[in-house]
Amino acid sequence: MPQPSSIDKFFGAVDDAYDVVLDTLKAGVHRGYRVSKEVIDQAQTGQREAVELAATIAKSPTDLAASSGAVVKTLTNTQGRALGLSRQWLDEAMDAQQEGREALRRLIDANRQAGEAVIQSSRGLAGRAQERARQVIRPRRGGNSAKAEGETRPRRKARAGETKTE
């Protein structure tokens, strides 16, 4: 299997980063749905209990013991539902925190991979540019190539007052 190019690695890392963002959004939507559903379920249960309490009191308004017992039972159930809903919110918050840490770790990893791909690609471009510059500076024929290829050039004659040193 051929090795992926640095451009493929870069776009793969960018794709991974988008996947992290989308997964995080989806998890948030699902969490919101679960909490909203629970709030609606608890509101419906509370409404039914309120209607039952009203019916109990309306059937025998003079029976103080039955009315008091129904009120206490309804309040106890309401407190239980409130505690259950609070517990779910805390659990969801803890899950969100854990998922957030994991998403951040994945995002950092994707950005690291993208950075490495850019560096690798830049090194390749710099190497090719360096080679092209060498070709321009040292042409194969004529110009400065005689000295680069080790050919001797005729030396100029020393003028009066100059001394030849070697």
Which structure tokens are listed for 45? 């249960």
Distances 93 to 6, 32, 35, 113 between C-alpha atoms, Å: 39, 11, 11, 30
Instruction: Please give the single-letter amino acid code of residue 90.
Output: L
| Cα separation values, 101 from 15, 30, 82, 104, 140, Å | 19, 18, 29, 5, 58
Residues 64-121 have pLDDT tens digits of 998 999 999 999 999 999 999 999 999 999 999 999 999 999 999 999 998 888 888 8
| Domains of the chain by start residue, with CATH | 6-142 (1.10.287)
Sign of CA dihedral 18, 21, 24, 25: negative
| pTM summary value | 0.59
Judge whether residue 146 has pLDDT over 60. Answer: no
